[in-house]
C-alpha cells in the first residue's frame, strides 16, 4: 500500500521482534539449511530493530543487494514490504530520502509533518537529520524506554 510516498507493509499482526522469531522458526521447519531469502529478511529486521530508523538504501544495500547490482528503490521497497515496517519519505535539501522503521504503533500521517517541522528548525545547524532525532520524533517515549 502506498500513500503520499509512504509504503506500509500488509503484515500488521506481528511486531518486528515477533517477525524475526516466527520467520526463524518457519525457515527452520520448511526451508533448506542456508536459505538466503529468510536470512536476508531476518538480518534486515534485526538491523531495523537495533537502529529504530534506517535509510532504505543502506538497509537494502547491506542485506539484500547482490554484489555488482545497482540500487533501485522500487526493488528495495518490494523486499522491505515483506517485513512489518513502514517506508516513508523525508525531504532534505531538495532531495527526498526514503527511511524505514517498524510499523507497529506508527501513525503515518503524523510522521511527515513532524519531521518536516524539525528539519526546518535545525536546517542551519545540521546538514543531515540525525538518527537520534528521527527516532525521537517517530517513536513514542514509552516505546523507547521499553527495551
Ligand atoms: Zn527460509
Per-residue pLDDT tens digits of the chain, which is 147 residues long: 455 678 888 887 899 999 999 999 999 999 999 999 999 999 999 999 998 889 999 999 999 999 899 999 999 999 999 999 999 888 777 788 898 988 876 665 566 666 666 666 665 555 555 656 666 555 544 444 444
Kindly state the DSSP code that residue 69 receives in the 8-state scheme. Answer: P
Kindly give the distance from the C-alpha atom of residue 130 to the centroid of ligand 1, in angstroms, as a whole number. 34
Can you count the helices (H) and strands (E) in the chain?
7, 5
Write the DSSP string, 40-64: HHHHHHHHHHHHSEEEHHHHHHHHT
How much is the pTM? 0.74
Kindly give the distance from the C-alpha atom of residue 10 to the centroid of ligand 1, in angstroms, as a whole number. 20
Query: Structural domain of residue 80, as residue ranges?
Result: 2-146
Kindly give the distance from the C-alpha atom of residue 27 to the centroid of ligand 1, in angstroms, as a whole number. 4
Looking up cell 513514542 gives 140
Q: Domains in the chain: how many in total?
A: 1
Amino acid at each position: 500500500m502506498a500513500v503520499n510516498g509512504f509504503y506500509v507493509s500488509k503484515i500488521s499482526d506481528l511486531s518486528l521482534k515477533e517477525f524475526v522469531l516466527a520467520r526463524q522458526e518457519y525457515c527452520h521447519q520448511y526451508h533448506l539449511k542456508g536459505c538466503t531469502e529468510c536470512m536476508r529478511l531476518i538480518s534486515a529486521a534485526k538491523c531495523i530493530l537495533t537502529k529504530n530508523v534506517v535509510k532504505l538504501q543502506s538497509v537494502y544495500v547491506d542485506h539484500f543487494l547482490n554484489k555488482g547490482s545497482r540500487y533501485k528503490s522500487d526493488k528495495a521497497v518490494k523486499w522491505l514490504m515483506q517485513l512489518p515496517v513502514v517506508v516513508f519519505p523525508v525531504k532534505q535539501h531538495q532531495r527526498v530520502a526514503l527511511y524505514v522503521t517498524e510499523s507497529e504503533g506508527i501513525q503515518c500521517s503524523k510522521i511527515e509533518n513532524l519531521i518536516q517541522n524539525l528539519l526546518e528548525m535545525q536546517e542551519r545547524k545540521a546538514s543531515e537529520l540525525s538518527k537520534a532525532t528521527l527516532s525521537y520524533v517517530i517513536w513514542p517515549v514509552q516505546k523507547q524506554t521499553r527495551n
